[in-house]
Amino acid sequence: MVLRRTMNIFKLFALIVIWQTFIPSVVAQNASLTFTAWSPDGIFLAVTSGSTVQIVDVATSQPTNQLSDLSEQVTASLWSPDGSRLAVANGSTLEIWQQPWDGGLASLEARLQSTAYIRSMAWNPQGNQIAIAHDAVEVWNLGTRTQIYSVYAHNGFITQISWSPDGARFATTSVDRSVKVWDAATGAILSTMTVVQNSNLPVSEIFTVATSVSWSPVNTELVFGAEDGTTRLWNTAQLTGSEVRTSENSPGVFRANEEAVLAVDWNPTGTEVAAGARDGIVSIWDTETGDQLQTFQSDLSINSVSYSPYGGRLAISGSSPLSQVDTDLSINASQFLANGAVQIVVPAPSLERLQTIADACNAPIAIEQSLTASIQADQLADVVAQVEALPENTIPPACAADLIAVAEALQSQ
């Protein structure tokens, strides 16, 4: 009994320490946080920073629209699945804005009042519902502008929420050291994963905050980041309803950081993840083999990472520049946006990535035939010229931009 009471006191103490170390890094500095999200067509980025949301044309690096006079932000703005609307957290108010994004006046479609400061949001795949998270999860019907339900299930605020691609479930991470999978229709908890960090301290378990989560676009896996510097996978194909645990020695746990992994994202094919950490390190992982494909160092403390819709580019953004960076890993960004708070890079450039992008956007046969295993670096310039010479609307502009970005990155290797 005494031992159990001692352990419970220790766990409570550990949770208090976690709150004290995590909250300043995510909340107290919210005025300097910057988040990015690609529009579904890959033409724009929504750049959320402080009390402003800018719509940036990626091709020109110039803002084309701006929403300002908002409350301080602690979360990214999110595009609807069809790209026609943008969800913006304005303190405890959820605002839904409508296009145009390329100039002109965006219109406010709806304003929904939450019960607390919004920390994360997720659209359902159909675009007719949105979940917002703070200490609880609220799900809203956007057609009727009514709340479907509100559920408290975490013992602490939710750090991020992500909806599954089939629309049936969503996942949340929290400072209470857990990841939960929910039934989206009812708000029932399907399973809880407690996040354990192994330690040499003379106790059986040390817990760590789950900081960020993203659902695979193609299957039942989700990836989440943790305060202990790990990035972890959870295959939710079989949910028992009971509590499960993951430690840093479990399968599907990747480590490249010593500081908190605050942002994660999947590539469009669900074969790799990007993880960005407080120390500015971004890691690219092959989720099928567990291999680390690339690691690079930004001069930002990373708050968000986001793959372009065709997977050829990665937008990373963060807060104040780090005072020191590892020059051996320094980032080779192709673009700097929003005064350097957003950087766009080509993640792990490869011929296979080029081929995947060309296939995804139905590139002309001549281009696909050029991308054979025998292609030489100097021939990639011809591929770039072919893509640039394509008549307008032959392939989506964002796909062309991804092809060019990857080909040029391969040339420079």
Q: What is the CATH number of the domain that holds 13?
A: 2.130.10.10
150 lies in which domain range? 2-348
If asked whether residues 400 and 251 sit together in one domain, one would say no
Q: What is the pLDDT of residues 287-301, one digit of tens each?
A: 999 999 999 888 888
- What confidence tier does 240 reach under pLDDT thresholds 50, 70, 90? low
Are 259 and 365 part of one and the same domain? no
The answer on pLDDT for 8 being more than 60 is no
Least confident stretch, 7-11, 177-181, 375-379: 7-11
Looking at residue 257, what is its pLDDT?
73
d(CA 365, CA 397): 17
pLDDT of res. 242: 58
Residues 29 and 87 in one domain: yes
Considering the domain architecture, whether residues 335 and 402 belong to the same structural domain is answered as no
Query: Which pLDDT value is given to residue 30?
Result: 43
Beta bridge partners of 56: 45, 63
- Whether residue 26 is found in the same domain as residue 108: yes
Instruction: Decide if pLDDT at 173 tops 70.
Output: yes
Return the pLDDT at 202. 47
256 and 379 belong to one structural domain = no
In angstroms, rounded to a whole number, what is the distance separating the alpha carbons of residues 97 and 33? 21
pLDDT tens-place string over residues 262-313: 999 999 999 999 999 999 999 999 999 999 999 988 888 899 999 999 999 9
321/377 same-domain check: no
Task: Select from 296, 321, 348 the last residue of a domain.
Answer: 348
Q: How far is residue 139's CA from residue 124's CA, in Å, rounded to a whole number?
A: 10
Tokens representing 373 are 């295993």
Of 146 and 340, which is predicted with more confidence? 146
- Region 326-342 average pLDDT: 64
pLDDT score at 11? 40
pLDDT for the residue numbered 225: 92
Arithmetic mean of pLDDT, 223-243 = 83
Q: Model confidence at 25, in pLDDT bands (50, 70, 90)?
A: very low
Sequence-distant (6+) residues with CB within 8 A of 372 are none
| Nearby residues of 60 by Cβ (< 8 Å), 6 or more positions away | none
The mean per-residue pLDDT over the stretch 53-65 comes to 91
Q: What angle do CA 203, 205, 206 make, to 5 degrees?
A: 100
Higher pLDDT, 257 or 54: 54
Per-residue pLDDT for 43 more than 90?
yes
- Mean pLDDT confidence for 329-335: 58
Query: Which is more confident, 28 or 169?
Result: 169
Question: How many folded domains does the chain comprise?
Answer: 2
Residues 397 and 338 both lie in one domain: no
For residue 48, the number of C-alpha atoms closer than 13 Å in the C-beta half-sphere is: 23
Look at residue 69 and tell me whether its pLDDT is greater than 60: yes
- Rounded to 10 deg, the angle between the 380-388 and 397-411 helix axes is 160
Specify the pTM: 0.88
Give the pLDDT confidence score for residue 15 in this predicted structure: 40
Per-residue pLDDT at 113: 95
In this structure, the answer to whether residues 240 and 360 fall within a common structural domain is: no
pLDDT tens digits, residue range 77-126?
999 999 999 999 999 999 999 988 888 778 889 999 999 999 999 999 99
Contact 158, 172 (CB under 8 A): yes
SS3 of 306, please?
strand
The answer to whether residue 22 scores a pLDDT higher than 60 is no
Q: What is the pLDDT of residue 205?
A: 58
Q: Are residues 128 and 201 in the same domain?
A: yes
| pLDDT above 50: residue 177 | yes
Mean pLDDT of the chain: 84
**Residue at which a domain ends, from 299, 329, 348:** 348
Looking at the structure, tell me whether residues 48 and 131 fall in a common domain: yes
Instruction: Give the three-class secondary structure for 299.
Output: coil
Please report the pLDDT score of residue 23 as a whole number.
39
Residue 322: pLDDT band with limits 50, 70, 90? low
Return the higher-pLDDT residue of 33 and 53.
Answer: 53
pLDDT for 329 equals 46
Residue 389's pLDDT is 94
In a shared domain, residues 84 and 198? yes
Domain-terminating residue out of 348, 371, 392: 348
DSSP lists the bridge partners of residue 66 as 54
